[in-house]
Chain A
Amino acid sequence: MNGILIAMIGALLLPIYEAWQDEDIWQKMLAFASIATKTSIMILVVSVLRDDWMIGVVGVLILSVGNAALMLLAHILRRLNEG
């Protein structure tokens, strides 16, 4: 099962590279969305591996809250470009 997590870390490096490299702010937001979702899915995988329900609940909460933060930030950035 460790192989799955190692593969996920490898997949996590791709959006991190994208966020570092790309100067366009919306590309960075996409990379952020990708990383926020991937990390919370990784928390869920770890919780299943360890059979730990406490980490599992936190993983679900972070998965939903991460998207809320993204929406808030995207709205502010959109209004910034308009005004």
Chain B
Amino acid sequence: MTDEIYVFAIMLLLPLSAGMLVAQTNPYHALIIRGILGAIAALVYALFGAADVALTEALVGTMLSITLYAVAVRSSMSLRLGVLEPEAMPLSAELTQALRQALQPAHLRLELLPYGDPTALQQALGEKEIHALCLPIPVSDRTDKRNYRLQTRTPRLQQLLNTESLQAIAHLDETLQHSESQP
């Protein structure tokens, strides 16, 4: 066994990469580290003569699971923001930039869904089609420089969007759950 001292060195790589995987907070980074873990696991299995297990780890454990998880993470980790049609309300680049910055710490993506009129937007928020909505404040109602108002469905999202750069552009309304609970 002293001839195969490298076996122990390679085996130590497995808990090392597994520890790296557990330490990741960004889901996309974790997916890539999972690929690294799969490659090292396949090497360890092949080293011990389990060629079939190594092949399965590479095909299913690494290729299939990473692809499926990437699709799942991409479609689920997003904030659906309802807006009016671009002709009725052009979104300023400043606002989308501030929104993306606010969502960055939670690793969420911004997805814009255009709707025809404000009533349809409110209805979509009530029916849980969208997570938040963004409406322009009419020029006559403006009290300060803020041109938009944002309403979220849950208090947690409002907490997430409560950043300085976003507060400067948009007014954050009460969440839907709050206004429903009040008499």
Contacts and interface: CB of A to CB of B under 8 A. Distances in A.
Asked if A and B are interacting partners, one says yes
Interface of A: 2, 5-6, 9, 12-13, 16, 19-20, 23, 25, 28-29, 31-32, 35-36, 39-40, 42-43, 46-47, 52, 54-55, 57-59, 61-62, 65-66, 68-70, 72-73, 76-77, 79-80, 83
Interface of A is mostly: helix
Interface residues of B, number: 39
Contact of B58 (A9, A31, A62, A76): A62
Contacts of A40: 39, 42-43
B67 A69 contact: yes
17 contacts: A16-B36, A31-B32, A40-B39, A43-B47, A43-B54, A46-B47, A54-B51, A55-B51, A58-B51, A62-B58, A65-B59, A66-B58, A66-B63, A69-B63, A69-B66, A72-B67, A80-B74
Contact of A9 (B10, B17, B39, B55): B10
Contacts of A9: 6, 9-10, 13
B49 A55 contact: yes
B33 interface: yes
Contacts, number: 119
B63 A32 contact: no
Contacts of B40: 35, 39
B70 interface: yes
Interface in B63-109: 63, 66-67, 70-71, 74, 109
Interface of B is mostly: helix
Given A16-B20, A52-B49, A73-B66, A2 B39 contact: no
Contacts of A43: 42-43, 46-47, 54
